[in-house]
C-alpha cells in the first residue's frame, strides 16, 4: 500500500465516503516554512498559510510545538512528548481505526514529519497528500478558510512504534550499514552551515539530498527506485538504511520516499543539530567518497 495519495484520488475518496455516509479520512494541515524559524510572538509560522486557505475540514497542526519538543536536548526538533501527540490527534478526532491524511504547502517536507511522528506514535493508516495544497489547487479542487471545531477522538498512542537512533547509534550505524545525510551537498561537505554551530557530517555518512527526491511540481519523483540505485550505497537490505538531516524534518521525507520502494529507513530524529551538541563527537568534511 502506498503512503502517498494524489489530490484527485483523495477528493474521490472523500466524496465516496460522504455518499456512503461513512467517516472520511481525518485531514491534517502541517503547512510550515523550513527556513523561517519560529517567533513566539508571531505564533506558528504556518498558521497564516492555513488561514489563507486549506483543504475543507482540515485541522492545523504546528510542527514546531506539536510534532517536536522544545529545542535543546535532542536537537532543534527533538521528538515530542507522547501526551502532546495524543492530545493533537484527539483534537483532530482521530480514533484507533481512523484514516489520516497529512499535507503541507507543496513539497511534503513538513507533512512527512507528521507522517513519521504519527506512525512512531502507533497510527497505522497515515498517508501524505502528494504535492500538498499546491497539487490540490492545481487539480481545481476547492479550499476553505473555515476552521473545524475541535473533536473528541479516543486514540491511545503507542510511542516507539518506529525505531530511532541516538547519536551513538548513528555513529555505529555509519560503520556497519548505510547512514544517509539528507541535507544539501554544501552543508554535508562543510562548505556552509546556516543553522548549526559546526559544519560537516557524521563520519561515514553518505550524502543523499532530499530535494533530489522531489519532482519540479513538488510531488515525489516517479522513478524513486532508479534514483535510489543512483545514490550509490551498494546492495543493502531494506532494513539496513538510516537517515538524518539538520533537525529531523527532511530526514522524515527521505524515510517516506524510501518507504515507497520498500526500504524501511530508521530515523535519527536529533540529526546534525543533536550530533554537534557534544564537542567530543567527530566531524567529517568534504564530499561523499566515490
Residues involved in catalysis: 245
Cell of 89: 490527534
Of residues 105, 113, 135, 136, the one with CA closest to residue 29: 105
Helix (H) or strand (E) holding 178: strand 178-181
CA–centroid distance for 44 within its chain: 17
CA–centroid distance for 76 within its chain: 14
CA–CA distances in Å: residue 204 to residues 22, 62, 102, 126, 181? 50, 34, 33, 32, 10
Alpha-carbon span 77 to 65, nearest angstrom: 9
Alpha-carbon span 103 to 58, nearest angstrom: 10
How close are the terminal C-alpha atoms of the chain, in Å?
34
Which DSSP string do the residues of 232-267 spell out, in sequence order? ---S--TTSEEEE-SSSSHHHHHHHHHHTTT--PEE
Amino acid at each position: 500500500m502506498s503512503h502517498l495519495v494524489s489530490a484527485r484520488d483523495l477528493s474521490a475518496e472523500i466524496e465516496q465516503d460522504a455518499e456512503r455516509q461513512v467517516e472520511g479520512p481525518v485531514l491534517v494541515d502541517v503547512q510550515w516554512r523550513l527556513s523561517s524559524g519560529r517567533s513566539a510572538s508571531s505564533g506558528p509560522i504556518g498558521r497564516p498559510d492555513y488561514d489563507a486557505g486549506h483543504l475543507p475540514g482540515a485541522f492545523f497542526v504546528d510542527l514546531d510545538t506539536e510534532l517536536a519538543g522544545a529545542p535543546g536536548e535532542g536537537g532543534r526538533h527533538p521528538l515530542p512528548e507522547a501526551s502532546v501527540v495524543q492530545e493533537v490527534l484527539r483534537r483532530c478526532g482521530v480514533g484507533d481505526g481512523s484514516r489520516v491524511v497529512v499535507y503541507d504547502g507543496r513539497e511534503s517536507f513538513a507533512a512527512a514529519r507528521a507522517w513519521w511522528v504519527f506512525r512512531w506514535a502507533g497510527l497505522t493508516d497515515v498517508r501524505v497528500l502528494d504535492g500538498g495544497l499546491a497539487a490540490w489547487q492545481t487539480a481545481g479542487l476547492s479550499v476553505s478558510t473555515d476552521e473545524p471545531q475541535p473533536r473528541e477522538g479516543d486514540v491511545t498512542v503507542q510511542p516507539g512504534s518506529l525505531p530511532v537512533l541516538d547519536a551513538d547509534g548513528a555513529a555505529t550505524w555509519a560503520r556497519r550499514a548505510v547512514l544517509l545525510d539528507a541535507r544539501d551537498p554544501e552543508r554535508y561537505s562543510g562548505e556552509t552551515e546556516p543553522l548549526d554551530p559546526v559544519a560537516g557530517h557524521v563520519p561515514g555518512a553518505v550524502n543523499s539530498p532530499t530535494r533530489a527526491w522531489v519532482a519540479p511540481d513538488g510531488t515525489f519523483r516517479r522513478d524513486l527506485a532508479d534514483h535510489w540505485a543512483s545514490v550509490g550505497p551498494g546492495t543493502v537490505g531494506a532494513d539496513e538504511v538510516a537517515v538524518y538531516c539538520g533537525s529531523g524534518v527532511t530526514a522524515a521525507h527521505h524515510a517516506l520516499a524510501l518507504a515507497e520502494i520498500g526500504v524501511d529507513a530508521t530515523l535519527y530524529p536529533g540529526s546534525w543539530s543533536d550530533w554537534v551538541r557534544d564537542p567530543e563527537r567527530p566531524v567529517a568534511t568534504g564530499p561523499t567518497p566515490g
